[in-house]
A and B are shown apart, each in its own frame.
Chain A
Amino acid sequence: MASIRTLHILNKTPDHPRFNRCLASLGSEDALLLTEDGVLAAASDRFTGFAGPVYALRADLEARAVEVAGGTLSPVDFEGMVKLTTEAEQIISW
């Protein structure tokens, strides 16, 4: 069932020190979920070094009027977020 090694939940803006710390610790079987201020990274290309799946909470994107550039990132609703947490062996909340 667990198809994600570690789910990284990131709620910090790209200029927060924890943002880069999180990016640096992404492994090849990991997934990244952007929430709250973290979705502002979707407005730029701040996580392009990571080949794994990147998700962003739709409500947080819409709240901030952040448009998702096609292909790089999948918006998820709250249900989708819960599903991701159940699919991960381990979760890190940054």
Chain B
Amino acid sequence: MSTLIIIDSAPYGDWSGREGLDMAFSLAAFDQSVTLLFIGAGVNWLRKGQSPEGISQKSVEKNLSAAPIFGVEALLADGRDCQTYGLTEDELIASVSQVELGPELLNQYKHTVFAG
């Protein structure tokens, strides 16, 4: 049974995306197949070079780099939303695949859950 967790809110502004990340890690802990998809303002999670020390928060970029270690299967981003936020391939953290959010993608997952 596979689960897709969608994060559509920007990082650092609120906690809803982090809840999605916790959910993904918890599923991975029990060896459940789980993939993270970033859409809308959520694609800003994937920008390289974040340094949130000045706002006293942990780097979601560094947090995300633990995802493959914990067993999260893939990090996906909506390509069009990346464009909207000026994110080129070079500016995205490695290991992210750009996809198109649509029925073809969603049909691959038994459960799709939005974070927050």
Contacts and interface: CB of A to CB of B under 8 A. Distances in A.
Instruction: Classify A-B as touching or not with yes or no (CB < 8 A).
Output: yes
B103 A18 contact: no
A88 to B, nearest CB: 10
B103 A93 contact: no
Contacts of B29: none
A91 B110 contact: yes
Nearest to A89: B110
A93 B109 contact: no
Contacts of B103: 25, 27
A50 B103 CA distance: 17
A91 B8 contact: no
B108 to A, nearest CB: 10
A92 B111 CA distance: 6
A91 B109 CA distance: 9
A90 B109 contact: yes
Interface string A9-25: 00000000110000001
Range of interface residues on B (Cβ < 8 Å): 10 to 19
B107 interface: yes
Interface in B36-91: 40
A17 B9 CA distance: 11
A57 B37 CA distance: 28
B1 to A, nearest CB: 11
A25 B113 CA distance: 14
Given A25-B103, A27-B103, A18 B8 contact: yes
A33 to B, nearest CB: 14
Given A91-B110, A92-B111, 5 more contacts: A25-B106, A27-B103, A90-B107, A90-B109, A94-B114
Interface of A: 6, 17-18, 25, 27, 89-94
List the 8 closest pairs (A to B, CB-CB), nearest first. Answer: A92-B112, A93-B113, A91-B111, A94-B114, A90-B110, A93-B114, A18-B114, A92-B106
